[in-house]
Amino acid sequence: MSEPARHPGPEADGRPGRVLGRTVRRLAGALGAALVLASALPGGSAGAAPAGGNRPVADTAVSAELPVTMTIDSVSKPVAVQSGTVTITGHVTNAGRSVLKSAHAAVRRPWPSKPLTTRSELASVSSRSVPLNADGISMDSPQYALNELGPGQSQPYTLSVAVADLQFSGEGVYELAVDVWGATADNQRDRPLGIARSYLPYNPSPGDAQPSKVTTLWPLTHAPVLAAQTLSENDQTVPVLRDDSLATEFAPGGRLYALVDTGAALTGLTWVVDPDLLDTAFAMTRRYVVQKPGTGGNAAKDDNTVAGTGTPAAIAWLEKLRAAVAKPGSQVVALPYADPDLASIAHNAPELEGIDAALGKAATAGRLTVEGRLSVDTRADVAWPYRGYLDQRIAAVAQRTGNSLMLVNGSSMPESDALKYTPSATRQIGNGQTALVADQLISSLFEGELATQEEQTRAVQRFLAETFVISRQEPQNPRGLLVMPPRDLGAGTAKVLATALQAAQEGKWVEPVKLDALAQLTPDPKANSTVPAPTDYPARARDSELSAFDLTTTTRIQTDLDTLMRVLTLPQRVRGPFSAAMVRSLSTEWRTEGRAGADYREGVKRYLKELTGAVKVPPKREITFAGDTGVLQVSVRNDLTQTVTNLKLVLTPAQPNRLRVELPTEELVLPASQSVTLRFPAEAKNNGPVSMTAQLYTTGPNPQKYGEPVTFTVQVTSVTNGVLYVFGGGVLLLLLAALRFVRQRKRRVAHGDEGDAPLAPQDGGTGPDGTDGPGPGADGGGPGATADGGNADGPGGPERPEHDGAARTPRDSSADGRDRATSDEKVGP
């Protein structure tokens, strides 16, 4: 498709030659429509229609079917100036099913030439879908002739119009409309085929009007990437990241680089910073490693990590950010560390044990981190719930954790229709809290990624129109406005917002101020200061919240972490990384990255479990206990890289009447990467299997179980049964009695005495060797047996130490790093 001819200017008769004849031929046919138009315009009459050279809209009913889609891609002068020229570019697309013929694009001149003075009038322009009389008069010059366009074909256009030709009546905001006139192959009547609308502020002289005070939030946030662990290397700790996304973000062309670069050119910004992002950037300024996919819960090692690549970018980015936030008039707000999701907590676990303390610590850590990394003063009592949505529960949790200033989305606290002006953002909402309510419409202009020129221009021109109208509502009573873009403000959208702010500032109806200045403005008593009920919270926002299960599971990590801290000799190696990782698990950033958030939380839990499980009783299946008394050997292994203390091992038999452990508790100290083997004196009373449980406990006040219990079987053998001794003793007594009877009988026979002898032995009878004395086993037991059939000391058995309750060093400990008790063993005297 060939490029259409472009008309640098009007011909001698004041209009392009190509359209002159067609315009004349159309005048007669348009006369009736002109009369309709004149009567339809505000204050208009048939005799009030503009004179020749301008075409009114034809029958609007016929215009309902619009085969053309138009865009306004750029406006050379976002704010019109006296004696200036405005150049408009855009595209015309044939969205119909018939060929577009003899068409041209033209600018509409506002008629009557009065500005739009209310925000509702601005909204009315935006809501129109078809060409209307209210859109103004299509001008004969300038015009842009279009080629024939088949269905789906598109063509750019450029139109330059002198501001004087638009005939503005004075300062204000005017509709800027461009339409297409022509015919189609299936309808040869010349008619409006499509229209595009925008706004054009005209401010020839600022006059005495006071500018609105505008605070713009400039967020620097990112989903957490620092893991809860480090890699040990040459006595140094190497940071571990879950991915290397920030290497791209910090580099030129990345989102975070663009935010700092764009914000550095603005004045009066309020930088809202996640301290965790700064810590991550600082960690990247030296050597760091990145976990390989699928290894998030495993201990970082050389074989499951790769070297990070973002060190140069992180160094440069931090330097650039420090310079930007140091500019006069700027302010830095420190979010709580890792930006925990206040709304999820308030709705799903507001009374969760320890949550208030965790949020308080996150706020303190956030302030200290930002001040330390950026070398600036910060404000850390600011709560920014997800997207600024507020309700009573969120406000209550924020108040309990020390947040006195709330950043609020305007949709949460809308104004009454009875209020005919836009009030300042500052509101007193009770409980010592102040809300800064963002203008909902203005903030919504910069949501999402404004990827096309059309979207960017629309946002800039609407921002200028809205802020201009607000500034003129009560010219001597300046308003305070809050502009709240989303946390994940995109690079392109940030540039658009910067363009809009600079244009409004140059027009002198906007004055940028920092957050503190806005918060100090006197609240408007007519403004809405009612915090909505939880039932009014947006359902779509609630759907993306962290669940009560997620929150409870995450906070339970603190309990497990506290237990681990009690046994470490160098707890600082673990406390800091894990405390930060717990808060990162609650980050608001996971709202848009739900799967990644779940993976991160799971990785934190898995790694803590791995650390805790590194100190353990190795699994055992069965050991053999031979004899009545002996020792049970149980090993404890420490695979951590630091010494572990404040632990004790407790053995508990399932049947203590069959197998009793003399001293079931043993305190121990485990050197790094070694194991010790403990010996527990025990006494068996019966043969057969006995289940035994080995459990580690912490020592000191309120001892807690440490790790999982290990259950194994003790197979008791070779115990001399007391019943057999009794039975054997009885048989022996009978035999001895019979032998004595025979001997006595023989003696009596020899002496001629044939009388009966007693059947029982008499006191002072003979022993087994024929001597007088007590019979063996007279006590019913075997040699050396006790009354219960056990062994007093056991043959060669150890001496039983007395237990005084004091901690003892492990008996027979092995510090060679080998586990001697993980398989079947024979443990005996």
Summarised one tens digit per residue, pLDDT across range 116-143 is 999 999 999 999 989 999 999 999 999 9
3-state SS track over 57-76: CCCCCHHHCCCEEEEEEEEC
pLDDT(762) > 60 = no
The answer to whether 22 touches 164, Cβ cutoff 8 Å, is no
Rounded Cα gap, residues 296 and 600, in angstroms: 7
C-alpha distances (whole Å) from 176 to each of 65, 111, 128, 348 are 22, 11, 13, 49
pLDDT(584) > 70 = yes
Q: Which pLDDT band holds residue 541 (cuts at 50, 70, 90)?
A: very high
Residues contacting 432, CB < 8 A, separation 6+: 399, 404
The mean pLDDT value for 44-59 works out to 41
Rounded Cα gap, residues 579 and 594, in angstroms: 21
**Looking at residue 553, what is its pLDDT?**
86
Mean model confidence pLDDT for the chain = 82
**Looking at residue 741, what is its pLDDT?**
61
The answer to whether 179 touches 70, Cβ cutoff 8 Å, is yes
The mean pLDDT value for 223-236 works out to 83
Q: What is the DSSP string of 149-168?
A: B-TT-EEEEEEEEEGGGGT-
Rounded to 10 degrees, the C-alpha dihedral 546/549/550/556 comes to 140
Rounded Cα gap, residues 554 and 496, in angstroms: 39
pLDDT(97) > 60 = yes
Phi-psi region at 68: left, alpha or beta (left = phi > 0; alpha = psi -120 to 50): beta
**Looking at residue 578, what is its pLDDT?**
87
Span 270-318, pLDDT tens digits: 999 999 999 999 999 999 999 999 888 788 888 999 999 999 999 999 9
Pick from 42-51, 640-649, 816-825: least confident: 816-825
Helix (H) or strand (E) holding 144: strand 137-145
Please enumerate, as own/partner, the contacts of 365-368 that have beta carbons within 8 Å and a separation of 24 or more.
365/275, 365/336, 365/337, 365/580, 366/275, 366/334, 366/335, 366/336, 366/337, 367/275, 367/334
The SS3 assignment for 743 reads: helix
**Looking at residue 12, what is its pLDDT?**
32
Angle at 330 between CA 414 and CA 225, to 5 degrees: 80
Q: Which residue do the tokens 């975070």 mark?
A: 256
Q: Which residue do the tokens 């063996």 mark?
A: 776
**Looking at residue 490, what is its pLDDT?**
96
Rounded Cα gap, residues 186 and 184, in angstroms: 5
The SS3 assignment for 188 reads: strand
The answer to whether 44 touches 56, Cβ cutoff 8 Å, is no
Q: Angle between the 355-374 and 275-284 helix axes, to the nearest 10 degrees? A: 50
Rounded Cα gap, residues 278 and 375, in angstroms: 12
Which amino acid is residue 497, in one-letter code? Answer: L
Structure tokens at 432: 């010592």
pLDDT(246) > 80 = yes
Span 328-364, pLDDT tens digits: 999 999 999 999 999 999 999 998 888 998 899 999 9
The mean pLDDT value for 678-684 works out to 93
**Looking at residue 794, what is its pLDDT?**
34
pLDDT(256) > 90 = yes
**Looking at residue 744, what is its pLDDT?**
64
**Looking at residue 9, what is its pLDDT?**
34
**Looking at residue 621, what is its pLDDT?**
87
Rounded Cα gap, residues 761 and 382, in angstroms: 100
C-alpha distances (whole Å) from 317 to each of 257, 259, 329, 497 are 7, 11, 21, 21
Span 412-454, pLDDT tens digits: 999 998 999 999 999 999 999 999 999 999 999 999 899 999 9
The mean pLDDT value for 388-406 works out to 96
- Exposed, middle or buried: residue 812 (CB in 10 Å: 0-12, 13-18, 19+)? exposed
The answer to whether 207 touches 505, Cβ cutoff 8 Å, is no
Q: What is the DSSP string of 571-607?
A: THHHHHHHHHHHHHTTBGGGGS-HHHHHHHHHHHHHH
**Looking at residue 742, what is its pLDDT?**
58
C-alpha distances (whole Å) from 679 to each of 151, 651, 719 are 90, 11, 20
**Looking at residue 263, what is its pLDDT?**
97
Rounded Cα gap, residues 17 and 1, in angstroms: 23
Rounded Cα gap, residues 438 and 479, in angstroms: 12
Global confidence as pTM: 0.78
pLDDT(244) > 80 = yes
**Looking at residue 172, what is its pLDDT?**
95
**Looking at residue 773, what is its pLDDT?**
36
**Looking at residue 65, what is its pLDDT?**
67
User: How far is the first Cα of the chain from the last one, in angstroms, to the nearest whole number?
Assistant: 101
pLDDT(739) > 80 = no
Farthest-apart Cα atoms in the chain, separation:
177
Rounded Cα gap, residues 44 and 57, in angstroms: 14
